[in-house]
Structure 1
Amino acid sequence: MTDPDVPAVVRSAVGGEREVLEAFLDFQRGVVRRKAAGLSDGQARRNLVPSATTIAGLLKHLAIVEHNWFERILTQQPSDLPAPDASFAVGEDEIVEDVLAAYDAACARSRELAATFELDHVVPQEELGQVSLRWIYVHMIEETARHAGHADILRELTDGSTGVLG
């Protein structure tokens, strides 16, 4: 249990609501990140399912999702984001190390922005009317965990690695 997100989840078992939400989101972020760790560019881009889903594509998509919910929606900053399907596309010139770095930067920015608001802070959202930071945290846990499962399957198909720590 050397990754900091793992003991944070354990410590949050008796923590407050915000600590629990942040710990679980960071844990799922770490799972996705660990699924890409040690892969070559070719392995991270490899299509193993009928869709265009790849481990590198999942990371790129999740970086965009982080930006969308924490920067565009929570702070109400205008942003040009790619269409949902395009968010999985990894350019020929993009390497997995850079995609990981972009994901790490997006997660760090999300943490920074969220820290400035209370969980009850409410913002407008075009499809739902309004959402709170609490709702954004829960949604991001769900979104990241769902894609962590996809990454787990892709990693198992790549080299047999399974589980949240590997």
Structure 2
Amino acid sequence: MAANVPPVPDERAGLLGFLTQQRNALKTAAFGLTEDQARAVPSASALSVGGLVKHVAATEDGWIDLVLRIPPKPIEESMASYQDNYRLSRSETLAGILAEYDRVATRTEEVIAGIEDLGQAVPVPKGVPWYPDDVQAWSVRWVLLHLIEETARHAGHADIVRESVDGATAIPLQAAAEDWPESDWVKPWKPTP
């Protein structure tokens, strides 16, 4: 992953490119973490890096379900899974959550590739408290923009949580994840012994 999205030939490639960049930023925040570190909640919030990756993967998958017009789960079930999606259970691993996120990303790209018009309507589910009652439909374009915003917000959360876990910051982590050579500009992150 480069630090910037490369030039894009069209809107679709741009939207998917920026979504991929934000996914990579979130995954980079998890780079090199142990299972305990991925579950760590080192700040006043209840957020962990692993929980954030899990949440964003489930959120993206849910939005793509809406694009495909797969009905959402009942609200009671949705709230329980929403809260669970911020935590890694003891039976889950960081590697497993990252693999699930990759699966979700592939699904998103395949679904979007199959949609001719990004202006296609995505009906707004009714009776869900966080969805507007006065909007009948979003567009696929709107959903992609929302996914970029949602992913970027949580990638920022993950950066802060990660720095609280072990002091690692985004650019040195990216340098380590991508095996950049050490330079006067950046020293790749190394785990503390």
TM category, shorter: 0.7 to 0.9
Letter in 2 for 1:9: V
Overall identity of the aligned pairs, in % = 36
**1:48 aligned onto 2:42:** yes
Question: What does residue 114 of structure 2 align with?
Answer: 116
Question: What does residue 78 of structure 1 align with?
Answer: 71
Question: What does residue 11 of structure 1 align with?
Answer: 7
Structure 2 residue corresponding to 1:93, chosen from 78, 91, 94: 91
Question: What does residue 155 of structure 2 align with?
Answer: 148
Question: In structure 2, do the counterparts of structure 1 residues 38 and 140 end up closer, same or farther at CA, with 3 Å as the change threshold?
Answer: same
Asked whether the equivalents of residues 29 and 170 of structure 2 are also in contact (C-alpha less than 8 Å), the reply is no
Greater share of helix residues, 1 or 2?
Answer: 1
Q: What secondary structure is seen at the aligned counterpart in 1 of 2:169?
A: coil
How far apart, CA to CA, are the structure 2 residues paired with 1:110 and 1:37?
Answer: 23
CA distances 1:14-59 after superposition (whole Å, capped 9, x unpaired): x321111111000000110111121100000000122221001001
Asked whether the equivalents of residues 74 and 133 of structure 1 are also in contact (C-alpha less than 8 Å), the reply is yes
Give 1:156 shift.
Answer: 1.2
**1:157 aligned onto 2:164:** yes
Give matches, 1:22-61, under 5 Å: 22-61=16-55
Larger deviation: 45-54 or 77-86? 77-86
Give 1:10 shift.
Answer: 2.2
Kindly tell me the number of residue pairs found equivalent between the two proteins: 159
Asked whether the equivalents of residues 120 and 132 of structure 1 are also in contact (C-alpha less than 8 Å), the reply is yes
Letter in 2 for 1:88: Y
CA-atom RMSD in angstroms: 1.8
Asked whether the equivalents of residues 44 and 55 of structure 1 are also in contact (C-alpha less than 8 Å), the reply is yes
Asked whether the equivalents of residues 118 and 140 of structure 2 are also in contact (C-alpha less than 8 Å), the reply is yes
Question: In structure 2, do the counterparts of structure 1 residues 91 and 82 end up closer, same or farther at CA, with 3 Å as the change threshold?
Answer: farther
How far apart, CA to CA, are the structure 2 residues paired with 1:99 and 1:139?
Answer: 22
Runs of at least 5 residues in structure 1 that lack an aligned partner in the other structure: none
How far apart, CA to CA, are the structure 1 residues paired with 2:15 and 2:85?
Answer: 25
Q: What secondary structure is seen at the aligned counterpart in 2 of 1:135?
A: helix
Larger deviation: 22-31 or 75-84? 75-84
Task: State the structure with more CA Rg.
Answer: 2
Runs of at least 5 residues in structure 2 that lack an aligned partner in the other structure: 126-130, 176-193
Letter in 2 for 1:67: D
Question: In structure 2, do the counterparts of structure 1 residues 51 and 64 end up closer, same or farther at CA, with 3 Å as the change threshold?
Answer: same
